[in-house]
Amino acid sequence: MGSEDPKMSDARPFHRVALDGFWMDRTEVTNEEFTHFVKATGYVTVAERQPDAKDFPGVLSKNLVPGAVVFTPPPTTVPLNDHYVWWSYVQGANWRHPEGPKSDLKGKEKHPVVHIAYLDAEAYARWSGKELPSEAEWEFAARGGLEGATYAWGEEFMPGGRFMANTWQGEFPWQNRVEDGWEGTSPVGAFPENGYGLLDMIGNVWEWTTDWYRPVHPHNASPACCGGHASRPSGEIDSYDPAMPDIRIPRKVIKGGSHLCAPNYCRRYRPAARFPEPVDTSACHLGFRCVIRRPEGATEPPPRE
């Protein structure tokens, strides 16, 4: 697990973690599947709720409106040190309206559901009789049996000139040449499966894990752990963003990169790559998938309803 790549300092060091058996969803949870969940439960996602003023000290009440983070490409090249140039908080954006209140899910039933905060992913997992994966489980699954490989399919990003994942082609954030056929999200399964038969473990949308974020892997990872979880030496408090001391919102590790990952900016389309995401935040490139951990003696996963 992890990487020694100096450009991915938070993925260091390379270390071994032992896991118990588990089954993982073959694809990211889709809009169609999430719609079934909402219809069955009446669940309201975080992006659809009124933000709580106590969580955002100093923010004007008029700005505390339901919404989510949406990507908008600038018209020309821009400096890459200010992500607010291409990210904005859009009132009315949520899983039903991924680009804003005038957008919808028509034709995107098989695309991964987005604008999912951590609590939303947890709620779906509980309803479906599953759980969210730990970071170690997710990374093990993404590698598809290729221990230490740079990508989920080997060492070459485009073997034989073939696109293996939905990522960004061109100069991010303004130029997307769409050479892989998809400007935004793609239907689950549009790209080849990995060695474990899993789809879209790299690119398309980022995926939640249960681990609290800290900017380095533990140097002394547990050699074995219970219930399929990796060792978690850092906790909720340690995950707070030190650059925002007044807003104490914990962050979880997200994995896999997305359709917005580009060679000139974000090369996190690798199993070892990781990123911190506040648990209350949802975005147009963030989704999830679930796991079922193997009970002792089980050889087959329980039937899916």
The 10s digit of each residue's pLDDT in 103-122 is: 999 999 999 999 999 999 99
Q: What is the tally of structural domains in the chain?
A: 1
Q: What is the pLDDT of residues 257-290, one digit of tens each?
A: 999 999 999 889 999 999 999 999 999 999 999 9
- pTM, two decimal places: 0.91
Residue 106 belongs to some domain of the structure: yes
Q: What is the Cα–Cα distance from 277 to 255, expressed in whole angstroms? A: 10
According to the model, what pLDDT value does residue 223 have? Answer: 42
> Does 5 have pLDDT greater than 50?
yes
Q: What is the pLDDT of residues 228-264, one digit of tens each?
A: 444 444 488 889 888 888 878 999 999 999 999 999 9
Residue 218 belongs to some domain of the structure: yes
According to the model, what pLDDT value does residue 304 have? Answer: 56
Residue 111 belongs to some domain of the structure: yes
As given in the structure block, the two tokens for residue 83 are 């992500």
Residue 305 belongs to some domain of the structure: no
Q: Are 148 and 154 in contact (CB under 8 A)?
A: no
> Does 156 have pLDDT greater than 60?
yes
CATH code of 67's domain: 3.90.1580.10
Q: What is the mean pLDDT of residues 213-240?
A: 62
Residue 159 belongs to some domain of the structure: yes
SS3 9: helix
Residue 147 belongs to some domain of the structure: yes
Q: Are 232 and 225 in contact (CB under 8 A)?
A: no
Residue 304 belongs to some domain of the structure: no
Amino acid at 13: P
Residue 301 belongs to some domain of the structure: no
SS3 209: strand
According to the model, what pLDDT value does residue 4 have? Answer: 84
For residue 181, what are the domain limits?
1-296
According to the model, what pLDDT value does residue 248 have? Answer: 84
